[in-house]
Every structure is written in structure tokens, then in C-alpha cells.
Amino acid sequence: MKNSLLIVYFLTQITGVFAQEYMGHKVINMPFPLAGGEIVSLPVTDAGTIPAENEKIKIEVAGYNVGPIPGQEKVPGLFWIFGFTSKLNQKIESVIVQEVFSTDKAISVVDDEAPSMKGVTWSTHTGYAEVSASGIPWLYSNKPTFFVYKFSIKIDGEKVVLYQPVYFSNRAKQLFVDHADKLRK
């Protein structure tokens, strides 16, 4: 019996069944002081963040992309992409996404009062901001950047709130800056 317990313990350590791991990376709960003073601890790994989810919703994307600003092919723009899956296929009545870290006041980035679902998926993107060191200084900083987005989703009259951390390494930011520079040529 003792040997069996040792084998089970050893296997759980290797497979991460009881250890907090996500895709082979150790998970830590990182505290984030949010706009308004609240502090939330959210799971992250050394490889990045983990999709927020509960029994009803799973955040699928909270990130950005760089592409030409529509109608201005040589002007690179940055836009944010947000999306989630409804696990129970319930009626989604509204979606509000706010940046709540690293900012003193919550900044509303999406306010969708009539969300359009594609099956069980909702997604949208923000408008474009021209990519420049003065317009988007965090993209040009030489340190990793974290954001936290608060998703407030009204489902069948009930408000569901999920906090999604977003992490951009220096390397990832440099790749986007390089892509923006190529678009300018």
C-alpha cells in the first residue's frame, strides 16, 4: 500500500495532476492592483497568462495585432482583439471590456449592447491606433508589459465578471514593432 501511494505521488508530480501547471508551466497567482484600488490575484506562468474562465464563459483572446490602418496602407495601426466562448450557449445580452491594470481609472475599450454571436463565440476588435513611440509608449518600452481586462458579460439577466491578464514580453513587442516598420516601407 505504501509503495502504491509513493507511485501515485510520483506520477502526480510528473504529470502535474495535483501540481498547479498549465501547458507544462508552473502556475503562480500574481497580484494586480486594479483601477479603483481592488487587488486581484490571477494565474500566470513564465510563458504567459492563462485564459480566464468559469462554468459559463471562457476567454479565448485578449491581445493585439498590428496591420495597415484601413485606407492608409503605409500607416501601421495597433488594434486589440477580444473574444470568448459561451460554454452553455446562453443568450449574451451585453459585453463590456475595460482595461483595469495598469491604469488609475478603468478605461472602457468595448461596450457592445447588442452582441452578435457566431455559434457560441463572440469576438470584436477595437479601432486602430497609429503605431509610434509617442502614441503607444508601452510597445516601445524595454520591459515586459502587463494589462488586465475586466470582461463584464450579461447572460440571461445575470452579470458575469472575469479578469483576463495579458502579458507581452520584450521579444513579442519587438516583433510587432518590426512588423509595423515593414508596413511603413
Q: What is the pLDDT of residues 62-121, one digit of tens each?
A: 999 999 999 999 999 999 999 999 999 889 999 999 999 988 899 999 999 999 999 999
Architecture of domain 29-184: Sandwich (2.60)
Q: What does the DSSP 8-state code read for residue 114?
A: S
Q: 119 in helix, strand or coil?
A: coil
Rounded to an integer, what distance in angstroms lies between the CA atom of residue 76 and that of residue 129? 8
Q: What is the pLDDT of residue 25?
A: 78
Whether 151 has a pLDDT exceeding 90, the answer reads yes
Q: For residue 89, what are the contacts with CB-CB under 8 A and spacing of at least 6?
A: 120
